[in-house]
Amino acid sequence: MPEYPPSLERLLHELEKLPGIGPRTALRLAFHLLKQPLGNSQALALGLTEARTKLHPCRECFNLTEEVLCRVCQAGNRDRSSLLAVEDPSDLAAFERTHEYHGLYHVLGGTLSPLEGRGPSDLTLDALVARVKKSGDLKEVIVATDPTVEGDSTALYIQQILKNVPAGGEPGRTIKVTRLARGLPSGGDVEYVDEVTLLKALEGRREI
Ligand SMILES: [Zn+2]
């Protein structure tokens, strides 16, 4: 016999699927929502459905956007000589919050992880290679994956696949591949690092 009425059980079940939400937090959130006016719950459900249906990956960099190209790719004032490769759109947002990185991005869609069954074709690596081949302005790809075993091996893999790619289609010209400096908490998540630490890691980046 479930402990709660079916509709509450269902709400708890859905909340518990969210990252970092265990049964106790789910219960706290559910009771909080149920205390609020009905309009608040409706606005939450609508906001969620709308974001989920309207947002899709940017054609160029795979950031989330409601248009064909995201705001960063559309902006005329970005430095097109560098491209910061991040795992997820949330990491991109973390770098944007520093207001100090003015280049472009490439959202990889995660890291390589043999254990979790994620191989190169599950990431946006083909699109990354295509961007390097196509762009005459690009000089550097900065790999900003998380400082984890998977993040490091993904960075190395990117360096391997890009080292022979002719930049801008010019034979013999290749781009530099760099990695964020150590100093980020090891095993941590780029998304949750404060802006100052993130900037330091960016400034101290090293060639792979
Ligand atoms: Zn974009």
DSSP state of 88: S
| Ligand 1 centre distance from Cα of residue 103 (Å) | 11
| Ligand 1 centre distance from Cα of residue 61 (Å) | 4
> Which residues line ion ligand 1, judged by CB < 5 Å?
58, 60-61, 63, 70, 73
Residue with token string 């490439």: 106
Give pLDDT tens digits for 145-171: 998 999 999 999 999 999 989 999 888
Sign of the dihedral defined by the CA atoms of residues 31, 33, 38, 44, in that order = negative
| Ligand 1 centre distance from Cα of residue 82 (Å) | 14
| Ligand 1 centre distance from Cα of residue 59 (Å) | 7
Give pLDDT tens digits for 83-136: 999 999 999 999 999 999 999 999 999 999 989 999 999 999 999 999 999 998
Under a CB-based contact definition with an 8 Å cutoff, are residues 87 and 122 in contact? no
Under a CB-based contact definition with an 8 Å cutoff, are residues 43 and 68 in contact? no
| Ligand 1 centre distance from Cα of residue 104 (Å) | 8
